[in-house]
Chain A
Amino acid sequence: NAGVMQNPRHLVRRRGQEARLRCSPMKGHSHVYWYRQLPEEGLKFMVYLQKENIIDESGMPKERFSAEFPKEGPSILRIQQVVRGDSAAYFCASSPGTDLNSPLHFGNGTRLTVT
């Protein structure tokens, strides 16, 4: 059973370009979470999605950031007009539900560098 798959592993973008980060959850998991990690810091929640629905986007910046989890295909985190401060590791996690028997499993992240 494959784990959470994220791609690309590394992404370099110039200021002003768009970044698209993809996440395929574990098989059977319908809940996806995105977290951001700055160097030497902890994991900050960004957004929680179920298929075709955004459940909680309280950690998402109001501008330039968006996320989706379509009925078919991976979840996408999109960052428009990137700035240097967007450089970070972005981690996706998935779970089969939100009850106590549904731990989050993380992918290995996408490391975004904005030049």
Chain B
Amino acid sequence: GENVEQHPSTLSVQEGDSAVIKCTYSDSASNYFPWYKQELGKGPQLIIDIRSNVGEKKDQRIAVTLNKTAKHFSLHITETQPEDSAVYFCAARAPGNKLTFGGGTRVLVKP
């Protein structure tokens, strides 16, 4: 089955700096890669996703990149703000299969 590794497990950045989270996956059939943000006491919220026919996608301060050959994908947050502090999860899914999550990255944005 699919295995998703996520690094780093914790990330502390100064407000205004960029944050980068990296994930690798094992199943070459995976073609859908979402990112979720989880705030304390809440469920994961989808913030951006990328499909395997696209190498990069951007939405305001958030961007994701995908390298299918190397089987890794990354989340980039620019101009971080205190409200970006949360736990972020990457995930991967092959067609018709379940979504497999990485272990999460706790991001702390220091004012």
Contact = CB atoms under 8 A, between A and B. Distances in A.
A63 interface: no
A: contact size bracket: 20 to 34
Contact of A41 (B97, B100, B103): B103
Contacts of B45: 106
B42 interface: yes
B58 interface: no
Contacts of B41: 108
A69 interface: no
B76 interface: no
Interface stretch (B13-21, B28-36, B59-67): B28-36
A57 to B, nearest CB: 10
Contact of A109 (B1, B43, B104): B43
A7 to B, nearest CB: 13
Contacts of A35: 101
Interface string B88-111: 010000011111111110000000
Interface of B: 1, 6, 31-32, 34, 36, 41-46, 49, 51, 89, 95-104
Interface of A: 4, 6, 33, 35, 41-45, 48, 56, 58-59, 91, 93, 98-100, 103-109
